[in-house]
């Protein structure tokens, strides 16, 4: 093998590895990230757009030999910032949909269970309204499967602060909902 072929072979193998990693990340995070974006206040279509843009940014980041450390929190931060920018440009209040409440329950529920579930969600919606914005975001990111360290990286706060915030938020909800 000549010396010239080595520099060509290395980026190709790295490119393949990066693409596999991006594909695995997409499979893992597509659903929770989409749910996170919808819960932040985007419509389903807007959330899909932001999701695609975020993974496009991921491809560019990997192609530019960007750091692979904390790639999940990096992806959430990119999506989070894009969602904020969209909401600013449309003049909407951030995190409004968590206030909006759940209008419909899944069709497979019996009517009695659907009514009970709806009442429970209404109580939960009222309790969520009492949370601060950082508490809501911490809970949303936690529901998306992020570790406390990753939540701290997305929000720019320390891990211990995330732990305290999550603990406080869950206990507030439990008190309000009388769980």
Partner 1 sequence: MCDYSGRLVAWLDREMQADEESEMERHVATCAECRNCAADLDRMSGAFEDYCEALAQTKVEHKAIRVAPIFWAAAAAIVLAVMFRYPWGQVASPMQPPSMTAVRKIDSSPSLPVEAAKNVRAPSEADHHAARRRAADRTGKGAASPGLCSGQGCAPRKVQGQSANWVAEEPAIQIAIPAEVMFPPGAVPEGVSFVADVSIGADGRVEQFRLRPLPARFERRTDQP
Q: Which residues bind partner 1 (CB under 8 A)?
A: 34-35, 38-39, 43-45, 97-98, 100, 102-106, 120-121, 124-125, 128, 139-140, 142-143, 147-148, 163, 166-167, 170-171, 173-174, 177, 179
CB of 149 to partner 1, least distance (A): 9
20 vs 179 by CB, closer to partner 1: 179
The region that residue 125 occupies, defined by phi over 0 for left and psi between -120 and 50 for alpha, beta otherwise, is alpha
CB of 24 to partner 1, least distance (A): 22
CB of 156 to partner 1, least distance (A): 18
Q: How many CB atoms lie within 10 A of CB 99?
A: 13
44 vs 65 by CB, closer to partner 1: 44
Whether 135 and 165 have beta carbons less than 8 Å apart is answered as yes
Q: What is the DSSP string of 153-178?
A: HHHT--HHHHHHHHHHHHHHHHHHHT
CB of 2 to partner 1, least distance (A): 51
Chain centre to alpha carbon of residue 71: 13
What's the CA gap between 51 and 83, in Å, rounded?
10
130 vs 143 by CB, closer to partner 1: 143
79 vs 140 by CB, closer to partner 1: 140
Whether 128 and 98 have beta carbons less than 8 Å apart is answered as yes
22 vs 128 by CB, closer to partner 1: 128
Residue 105, helix vs strand vs coil: coil
CB of 39 to partner 1, least distance (A): 5
Q: Which two tokens stand for residue 24?
A: 């695995």
């Amino acid at each position: 093998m000549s010396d010239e072929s080595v520099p060509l072979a290395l980026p190709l193998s790295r490119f393949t590895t990066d693409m596999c990693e991006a594909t695995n990340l997409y499979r893992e995070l597509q659903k929770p990230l989409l749910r996170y974006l919808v819960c932040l206040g985007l419509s389903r279509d807007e959330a899909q757009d932001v999701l695609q843009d975020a993974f496009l940014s991921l491809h560019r980041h990997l192609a530019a030999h960007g750091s692979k450390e904390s790639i999940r929190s990096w992806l959430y931060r990119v999506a989070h910032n894009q969602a904020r920018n969209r909401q600013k440009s449309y003049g909407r209040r951030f995190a409004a949909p968590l206030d909006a409440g759940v209008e419909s329950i899944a069709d497979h529920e019996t009517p009695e269970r659907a009514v009970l579930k709806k009442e429970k969600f209404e109580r939960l919606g009222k309790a969520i309204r009492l949370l601060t914005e950082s508490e809501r975001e911490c809970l949303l990111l936690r529901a998306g499967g992020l570790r406390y360290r990753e939540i701290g990286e997305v929000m720019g706060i320390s891990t211990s602060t995330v732990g305290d915030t999550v603990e406080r938020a869950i206990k507030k909800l439990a008190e309000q909902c009388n769980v």
